[in-house]
């Protein structure tokens, strides 16, 4: 597995991608214009098209990320829930790509599709082993996603005062037991 030869334009490509993430995170898909992204990256709008083909494909490239969820096999449910919630909040704070995808998924169908894929490929498999009955695993993972996304939406997108005011540790302390409950509790 050899990486492709480095190109002279790699710095430009990276600058475009970084500016795109900024704009998509701040404005969502439709309000983030190619011209604004190009201006932020201090390059010509035509470069964006040359290197990424279209706005749609630029977004696809900008919204690519790995949640890097830890392996939780063998970890007790209570501890696993704490780790999960903490990891998600941390990822959201350090990488605005997550906010970009969340914002865009509200109005752009392909962004929503990507988000569903992230759920299916990265989140659900980590939650599933904790389900007492495997047939319930999808619903349980869905509830966990609703919890995480609800927190992320109110905190990073809507910026609801009382939620942004909660410290990260306290937020983890509130959400972890909920997530644990969804993962393992008897079906109500």
Contacts of 106 (CB under 8 A, 6+ apart): 28, 112
Q: How many CB atoms lie within 10 A of CB 43?
A: 17
The Cα 33–Cα 7 span in angstroms is 26
163 contacts which partner out of a second copy, DNA, none, CB within 5 to 8 A by kind? Answer: a second copy
Residue 131 lies near a second copy (rule: CB under 8 A): no
Select the residue interacting with a second copy from 15, 49, 91, 178 (CB under 8 A). Answer: 178
Select the residue interacting with DNA from 19, 25, 34, 111 (CB under 7 A). Answer: 34
C-beta of 132 vs 177, nearer to a second copy:
177
Tell me the window of 9-17, 35-43, 44-52, 142-150 that interacts with a second copy (CB under 8 A). Answer: 142-150
Residue 46 lies near a second copy (rule: CB under 8 A): no
CB 25 within 8 A of CB 97: yes
Residue 161 lies near a second copy (rule: CB under 8 A): yes
Select the residue interacting with DNA from 18, 26, 40, 43 (CB under 7 A). Answer: 43
Token duo for residue 129: 């082993």
Q: Provide the CB-side half-sphere exposure for 133 (13 A, CA).
A: 6
The Cα 138–Cα 127 span in angstroms is 9
Residue 85 lies near a second copy (rule: CB under 8 A): no
C-beta of 9 vs 107, nearer to DNA:
9
What's 115-174 look like in SS3?
Answer: HHHHHHHHHHHHHHHHCCCHHHHHHHHHHHHHHHHHHHHHHHHCCCHHHHCCCHHHHHHH
119 contacts which partner out of a second copy, DNA, none, CB within 5 to 8 A by kind? Answer: a second copy
Binding site for a second copy (CB under 8 A): 27-31, 102-103, 105-107, 112, 115-116, 119, 124, 138-139, 141-143, 145-151, 153-155, 157-163, 165-166, 170, 173-174, 177-178, 181-182, 187-188
């Amino acid at each position: 597995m050899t990486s492709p030869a480095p190109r002279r334009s790699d710095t430009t490509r990276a600058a475009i991608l970084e500016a795109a993430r900024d704009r998509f995170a701040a404005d969502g898909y439709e309000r983030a214009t190619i011209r604004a992204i190009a201006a932020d990256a201090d390059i010509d709008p035509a470069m964006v098209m040359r290197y990424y083909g279209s706005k749609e494909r630029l977004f696809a490239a900008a919204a690519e990320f790995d949640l890097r969820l830890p392996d939780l096999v063998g970890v007790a449910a209570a501890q696993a829930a704490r780790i999960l919630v903490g990891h998600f909040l941390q990822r959201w704070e350090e990488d605005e790509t997550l906010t970009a995808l969340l914002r865009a998924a509200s109005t752009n169908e392909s962004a929503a599709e990507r988000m569903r894929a992230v759920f299916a490929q990265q989140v659900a498999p980590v939650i599933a082993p904790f389900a007492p009955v495997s047939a319930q695993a999808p619903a349980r993972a869905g509830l966990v996603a609703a919890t995480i996304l609800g927190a992320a939406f109110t905190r990073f997108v809507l910026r609801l005062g009382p939620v942004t005011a909660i410290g990260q540790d306290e937020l983890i302390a509130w959400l972890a037991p909920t997530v644990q409950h969804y993962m393992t509790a008897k079906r109500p």
